Amino acid sequence: ISSTSKTRQVEVVGNVALSRSFVLAKARRTGILGAPFDRATADKFTSSLRLWYSNEGYNCAQVIPVEEPSGDGRLTVYVNEPLCADEPVSVTYFNWAERKGNGTTERRLVPAKGKTRPSTVAYALGLRPGQPFRWRQDNVKRLKNRVFSDLALRNMSLTKDGRVQVALEVIEPKSF
């Protein structure tokens, strides 16, 4: 394709989170739409999409760098928005235990039986089975402040079917 061929249309494939109008606005703002194809401008466009995904909590999303537009001026960008697993959250529960001896008291965390169901935790975090994975710190803070004494992300992993599941360690208040 000639470098003077103009990009007439931008198509994002594999996307659920981005609206068509948002993609068009980003394409216009970065100068890729209606202009001859330019690698630097294309990289600026894909970088702007990556930044949006990151800022919005879609930390596992990937934006594949664009190639030159097709002969009809259509530029295709591929994205991968990993989905939440059927059980988006696994939870390991802990409580504080005190052990007295030799004139000292030792506090330590011990495994406990939790009362808050993992599905309730997932719902509070905004993680829905089959929806794009989105980790929002404000949801984590709200859950930590309202439900748990403490909450820590142990890891994020992919299930066998390529979906995202988070493993949390939490401390539920004793009065809960």
pLDDT value, residue 101: 80
Would the pTM of this model clear 0.85, i.e. be above it?
no
DSSP β-bridge partners for residue 75: 10
Cα separations in angstroms, 89 against 60, 84, 95, 109: 16, 9, 19, 21
pLDDT in tens, the chain (176 residues): 445 678 889 999 999 999 999 999 999 999 999 888 888 999 999 999 999 999 999 989 999 977 788 888 889 999 999 999 999 999 999 998 888 888 888 888 899 999 999 999 999 999 999 999 999 999 999 999 888 989 999 999 999 999 999 999 999 886 54
Number of neighbours of residue 130 by Cβ within 10 angstroms: 10
* Residues 159, 44: Cα–Cα separation, whole Å: 32
- Position 175 scores a pLDDT of 53
First to last CA, the chain: 65
Which of 156, 158, 151, 159 minimizes the C-alpha distance to 167? 156
